[in-house]
Amino acid sequence: MAEFVTLEVDAGIGTIRLDRPPMNALNRQVQRELVAAAREADERDDVAAVIVYGGEKLFAAGADIKEMDGMTAGEMDRLALGLQRSIGVVSEIAKPTVAAVTGYALGGGLEVALSADRRIAGDNAKLGVPEIQLGIIPGGGGTQRLARLVGPAKAKQMVFTGRHVGAEDALAMGLVDEVVAPDDVYEAARRWAGQFVGGAGRALAAAKAAIDEGLDTDLDSGLRIEARLFAALFTTEDQKIGMQSFVENGPGKAEFTGR
């Protein structure tokens, strides 16, 4: 049974909860449990969308530095790709995902949030990648996902300086998508996730794959990815239900099965 990371499902919404007081430091056990929770959320038919939440006070303040201290380059070389995969595992969930961020989201914590499709932050949030202050760089996907999200110049400023970004600045630069009062962060995330409950799950997965895979390649290759995924949806029940409902009843009235 997981000690620090749990998956709770309610009304079609899965919540991956980080709970390792006092700072939700992402040690290797937390990373393993995060991978297990993400995979379970991805596989469960009763989960339409996923929230990643660190609690009312903070999201996660980074990796467990005590665990890394003293490691050799050879040891870290063997662990680095696994670290990246674990921290970014939320990106592999083929469903809409949202990070609900209160307080600190630093280092590996921010990298977990970056792996979600959307980020909703409390107005008390502080986000950053302070690894440069330890003589290293972000190693859980931060240099890549951050640059793709906010652009290379803003990403370099954050990575080079290690400075924390407040919620409003994060909103202005596109690092987060919505800012609310800290007490409202989780409910705002539930409202966003709730719109996908009862939706066309296979089409949502295809849309996510088309965008994410397309961003990693050139336009022509991305268009071919889109065409392949588009055509494959014509094998699904939801495509038949959606189009028949549109013809008979007009738009927005289909009742999808997720198959």
Contact in structure between 123 and 173 (CB atoms under 8 Å): no
CATH class as words, domain 5-194:
alpha beta
Q: Flag whether the pTM goes above 0.75.
A: yes
At 222 the pLDDT is 97
Q: Is 168 a catalytic residue?
A: no
Find tokens 């201290």 and name the residue: 69
What does the alpha-carbon distance between residue 259 and residue 238 come to, in Å, rounded to a whole number?
Answer: 6
Q: Give, in degrees to the nearest 5, the angle at Cα 35 between 31 and 38.
A: 135
At 182 the pLDDT is 96
Q: Edge-to-edge, what's the strand order for the sheet holding 104-106?
A: 104-106, 126-128, 165-166
Domain ranges of the chain: 5-194, 201-249
Dihedral (CA of 192, 197, 200, 206) sign:
positive
Q: Please, which residues bridge with residue 6 across strands?
A: 17
Give mean pLDDT in consecutive 10-residue pieces for the chain, a chain of 259 residues. Answer: 95 98 95 98 98 97 84 88 95 98 98 98 98 95 97 98 97 98 98 97 98 95 97 97 94 91
In the set 75, 92, 131, 178, the catalytic residue is 131
Answer yes or no: CATH 2.40.50.140 is held by domain 201-249. no
What does the alpha-carbon distance between residue 129 and residue 231 come to, in Å, rounded to a whole number?
Answer: 40
Structure tokens, 241: 């239900």
201-249 has the same fold as 5-194: no
At 65 the pLDDT is 84
Q: Is 226 a catalytic residue?
A: no
Question: Under 8 Å CB-to-CB from 101, ≥6 apart: which residues?
Answer: 54, 59, 113, 119, 120, 121, 122, 125, 127, 176, 185
Structure tokens, 237: 């029940």
At 113 the pLDDT is 98
Structure tokens, 189: 């995330």
In the set 75, 111, 213, 237, the catalytic residue is 111
Contact in structure between 253 and 200 (CB atoms under 8 Å): no
